[in-house]
Amino acid sequence: MQCDVRKEAAFDVVTLKGEVDLSTSPAVRQAILASLEAGAPVAIELGEVTYIDSSGVASLVEGYQTAKSRGLPFTLVGASESVMGVLELARLDKVFPLAATLGELTADGG
Amino acid sequence: MKAGDDHGREASLRVLADELRDPLGLLADVSQAFATSLDLDETLENTVAQISHYMHAEAASLFLLENDDSELVCKASAGPVDVVGLRLEADQGIVGKSVASGQVQFIRDVGEDPDFAGFVDATTGFETRSVLCAPLLLRGHCLGAMEVLNKGEGDGLFDASDRHLLQVLASSAALVIRNARRAVELVEQERIRKELELAREIQATLLPGRGNPADPIVGVNIPAREVSGDFYDYYRLADGRMAFSLGDVSGKGMNAALLMAKTSSLLHCLGKGITRPSELLAQVNREVCESVTRGMFVTLVAGIYDPAHDEVCLANAGHQPPMLLDVAGAMTELPATAPPLGILGEVEFPEQRVRLEGRRLYLFTDGVTEAPGPSGGDLGVEGLRAELAAHGALPARERLERVVAELAAREALRRDDITLMVIESPGETAHRYTFEARAENLEGLRVYVDGVLRTMTCAERLRDQLVLAVNEACMNIIQHGYGGDTRDAITLQILNNDGILEFRVEDSAQRVDAARIKPRDLTDIRPGGLGTHFIREIMDEVDYRVPEHGTGNLLVMRKRLSNHEVARDAV
pLDDT tens digits along A18-67: 999 999 999 999 999 999 999 999 999 999 999 999 999 999 999 999 99
Rounded distance between C-alpha atoms, residue B475 and residue A96, angstroms: 24
End-to-end CA distance of chain B: 92
- Domain B3-184 matching CATH 3.30.450.40: the answer reads yes
Per-residue pLDDT of chain B (571 residues; tens, 9 = 90+): 444 555 666 655 555 455 445 666 666 666 665 555 556 777 788 888 888 888 889 999 999 998 888 899 999 999 888 888 888 888 888 889 899 998 998 888 877 776 665 555 666 677 788 889 999 998 888 999 999 998 888 777 888 888 888 888 888 888 878 887 888 788 888 887 887 777 777 777 778 876 666 678 999 988 776 667 888 999 988 888 999 999 998 877 677 788 888 899 999 999 999 989 999 999 999 999 988 777 789 999 999 999 888 899 999 999 999 999 987 778 999 999 899 999 888 899 999 999 988 789 999 998 899 888 888 788 999 999 999 988 887 778 888 999 998 888 887 666 778 899 999 886 555 577 889 999 999 999 998 898 888 767 688 889 999 999 999 999 999 999 999 999 999 999 888 776 788 899 999 998 877 776 666 665 666 666 789 999 999 999 999 988 877 889 999 999 998 754 443 333 3
User: Which H/E stretch holds residue B12?
Assistant: helix B3-19
Spatial strand order of the sheet with B489-497 comes to B431-436, B489-497, B500-507, B553-560, B541-545
Domain ranges (residues) in chain A: 2-102
DSSP codes joined into one string, B485-510: --S-EEEEEEEEETTEEEEEEEE-SS
Phi, psi of B227, rounded to the nearest 5 degrees: -120, 160
Rounded to a whole number of angstroms, the distance from the CA of A51 to the nearest CA of chain B is: 9
Of A58, A61, A89, the CB nearest to B537: A89
On chain B, the residues whose CB falls within 8 A of the CB of A92 are 525
| Topology of domain A2-102, CATH | Transcription Regulator spoIIAA (3.30.750)
Rounded distance between C-alpha atoms, residue B300 and residue B268, angstroms: 13
Contact between B478 and A22 using a beta-carbon 8 Å cutoff: yes
On chain B, the residues whose CB falls within 8 A of the CB of A91 are 522
Rounded to a whole number of angstroms, the distance from the CA of B500 to the nearest CA of chain A is: 22
- Specify the amino acid at residue B505: V
Contact between B439 and A58 using a beta-carbon 8 Å cutoff: no
ipTM of the complex: 0.90
Of A51, A58, A89, the CB nearest to B528: A58
Q: Which CATH architecture has domain B207-424?
A: 4-Layer Sandwich (3.60)
> B207-424 and B431-570: same fold?
no
3-state secondary structure B545-558: ECCCCCCCEEEEEE
Contact between A21 and B479 using a beta-carbon 8 Å cutoff: no
Contact between A85 and B442 using a beta-carbon 8 Å cutoff: no
> Which of A80, A89, A93 to probe by mutation at the B interface, max B CB count within 10 Å?
A89
For B431-570, CATH number out of 3.50.50.60, 3.30.565.10, 3.40.50.300, 1.10.240.10 equals 3.30.565.10
Interface residue B525 vs chain A (CB under 8 A): yes
The answer to whether B105 touches B94, Cβ cutoff 8 Å, is yes
Q: Which residues, in sequence order, are CB contacts of B321 under 8 Å at separation 6+?
A: B333, B334, B335, B336, B381
Domain ranges (residues) in chain B: 3-184, 207-424, 431-570
